[in-house]
Structure 1
Amino acid sequence: MSDDYSEASYGARPVGWGRKPAVLVVDFQVAFTRPEYPLGRSEHIHEAVEKTSELLKIARKCGVPVASCYTAYHSQRDIPYWKIDAVHDHFYYGHPSTAMDERIAEPDYDYIFCKSAPSIFFQTPVTTFLAKQGVDTVVLTGCTTSGCVRASAIDSFSYGYRTIVAEDCSGDIEEGPHRDNLRDIGRRYVDVMPSAEVVKAFEDYRKRND
């Protein structure tokens, strides 16, 4: 963090953990995780998928709720004005690219749903799911950091959740925008930490509830 931001008091207060966490997984559909698709060729995202898979296994063992989303549309009539050809070419209901990556999704445990905008919160039922589970702390993972993860982090903050971003469980097309955006939202809205720290918090949560 630069001295100017520090002197202006950015990042001075941690968000911290509340009573009950949940993991939200943003867009780890195969369009982003398999190299046969134009958006699926980022090694940075591939690494984040592996880390997220490990984190989710522990979250489920600890009884932490998990919700995962994918992005899809009916037709060009309802698709937003994305400036990304791959979205217009592939992101439609039933297209193979919209399937959740099998390393991520556990349908018998996870809540899996479709979104239509960058944020996992925008006009989706996820807030109802979180309210039913009594969640006050959201751990964000997924892709891309500079796009849908950042949008989700801002909405999570705006809805009043304590928001954590697991740094190594979020990925982008390039590492530079990943780091830049995490640094910026970490100054303002969220706590950014490695997944190892998130794991410790999940294990502490399980001990409190055993």
Structure 2
Amino acid sequence: MSAAGPHGPAFSGRVGWGSQPAVLVVDLCRAYTEPDGPFALPDPASAVEAAAALVDAARSGGHPVVWTAVRYARGLADGGLFVRKVPALAAFAEDAPGEWGELTLEPDPGEPVVVKQYASAFFGTTLAPTLVGLGVDTVVLAGVSTSGCIRASATDALNSGFRPQVVRQACADRSPALHENNLADLDAKYADVVDLSGALTHLQRPA
């Protein structure tokens, strides 16, 4: 693909990689990866495997790994209109049954887990100052869902001055069409959509 991309010279420029990447694993939890979960994905295994590979590469290269998890207070008082628009988010309330918010992959001790209530990992959270404090300039995104929290987080990463790299194989959505269409639009306007192999090469370089 040329630098101008399939949309002509108006779109699909590259933000590229900086020198200090971090992997951000967004909302990869049982609600999405278990077959009976409220947001169950049709085939989550490949995205989980790719996310795990990114996490392992970042750890071996000495790069930060940051996680997000969705949590709401009992009664959803901190959910605003989002929980009204998406009632299934009630599964993430502190008094909800099922432990659907439990992360599918295990953070290492000392790896930050940023708690959020809305789609973007940056909105109303400590994520941006955490990344700044870690010296991060590039955010490598994995997780769910491509059209929702990945898209919102990638857009806000760009808005916040970080270089968003969305790893195609490490994200998933409720249908292949939603996944691919949102990747195409993200790559056109808000992030670099990259393949797993290239991301692993960058992350395996020592910090």
Alignment TM-score > 0.5, same fold: yes
Deviation at 1:86, TM superposition (A): 2.0
Deviation at 1:114, TM superposition (A): 1.2
Residues 1-210 of structure 1 correspond to what in structure 2 (within 5 A)? 6-11=7-12, 13-43=13-43, 45-74=44-73, 75-81=75-81, 82=83, 83-88=85-90, 90-93=91-94, 95=96, 96-101=99-104, 104-204=105-205, 206=206, 209=207
Deviating runs (4+, > 4 A) in structure 1? none
Query: Size of the alignment, in residue pairs?
Result: 200
Check whether the contact 2:60–2:204 (CA below 8 A) recurs between aligned residues.
no
Q: Distance in 2 between matches of 1:76 and 1:99?
A: 18
Counterpart residue identity of residue 100, structure 2: S
Q: Which one has the bigger helix percentage? A: 1
Deviation at 1:38, TM superposition (A): 2.5
Indicate the SS of the match to 1:36.
coil
Deviation at 1:117, TM superposition (A): 0.5
Aligned-pair Cα RMSD in Å: 2.0
Q: Give structure 1 stretches of 5+ with no counterpart.
A: none
Q: Distance in 2 between matches of 1:4 and 1:65?
A: 30
Q: Distance in 2 between matches of 1:8 and 1:199?
A: 28
Deviation at 1:35, TM superposition (A): 1.4
Residue identity (%): 32
TM-score where L is the length of structure 1: 0.88
Check whether the contact 1:68–1:105 (CA below 8 A) recurs between aligned residues.
no
Counterpart residue identity of residue 51, structure 2: T
Q: Distance in 2 between matches of 1:86 and 1:191?
A: 30
Counterpart residue identity of residue 86, structure 2: I
Counterpart residue identity of residue 87, structure 1: L
Q: Distance in 1 between matches of 2:94 and 2:53?
A: 28
Deviation at 1:190, TM superposition (A): 1.1
Counterpart residue identity of residue 101, structure 2: T
The one-character-per-residue Cα deviations of 1:97-139 (angstroms, maximum 9, x if unpaired) are 11111xx222314211210100000111111211111000110
Check whether the contact 2:51–2:170 (CA below 8 A) recurs between aligned residues.
yes
TM-score where L is the length of structure 2: 0.89
